[in-house]
Amino acid sequence: MSSTNVFDLFRLDDRVALITGGSKGLGKAMALALAQAGANIVINSRSQSDCDRVAREIANEAGTACIGVAGDVALEESVDELFRKVTDRFGHLDVVINSAGINLRHPVEEFPFDEFRRVIDTNMVGPWLCCRAAGRIMKPAGKGSVINVSSTLGVVGLPERSAYSASKSGVNGVTRSLAKEWAPFGVRCNSLCPGPFLTEIMEPLLKTPDKVKSLLALTAMNRWGELHEIMGAALFLASDASSYVTGSELYVDAGWTC
């Protein structure tokens, strides 16, 4: 029987975590969770002012170092610069949560191609670019955890979500491939798949109460997720509590996929 205290497995003291899309919604909640567990945090979004504001909030609440670094995850040069700034500041990188994402909704016949490409570039190309940059740092270090934020819609469908579902299915494929590729180097890669949380990305649905009712009825609990309900799952995948977990899809979806 191990003498390890189970609560110690969830500690992230002295580790560095980068959260893309970390200035709002699920990304912000997950960043706070990791900071409360002791991690130093890098908040990324496209707005430097938003990054700085949230970084100050988290630093004040959690008492760990937290900085903001703006950048567009859909652009190769921007991603490479983001990761360079992280290592220049902290010297190492232990956790990446790829949370930046958008969701544009149209019937497929009316879906503008430029909007389809925006969703794919942000939701799938962005995580791939960040995974590539993370691997270049984590593999030589022999450790690391990458969490790709996917979605229930990576495995189930909804009308008018063809771009979003395609992007999230792609994220799950990237996760499985990299889990195999990185395992010999001590680096883990998992997908975190939320169901319906009432974040900014979901607010357009509130204009159509019937659609909200139908959406929530797909879950066993028949309700929106609350932001704190993503925090434990993110901390689990980021920490040593999940040291034997890679290539997994962890669903936090109120029973939608059951």
Strand 40-44 to strand 16-20: parallel, antiparallel, or no bridges (unpaired)? Answer: parallel
Give the Cα separation of 97 and 106 in Å (integer). 28
Whether 244 is catalytic is: no
Residue 108's CB: how many other CB atoms inside 10 A? 11
Give the Cα separation of 125 and 215 in Å (integer). 27
- Active-site residue, from 10, 90, 116, 164: 164
Of 234, 103, 250, give the one whose Cα is nearest residue 175. Answer: 250
Q: What angle do CA 120, 99, 41 make, to 5 degrees?
A: 145
Annotated catalytic residues are 164
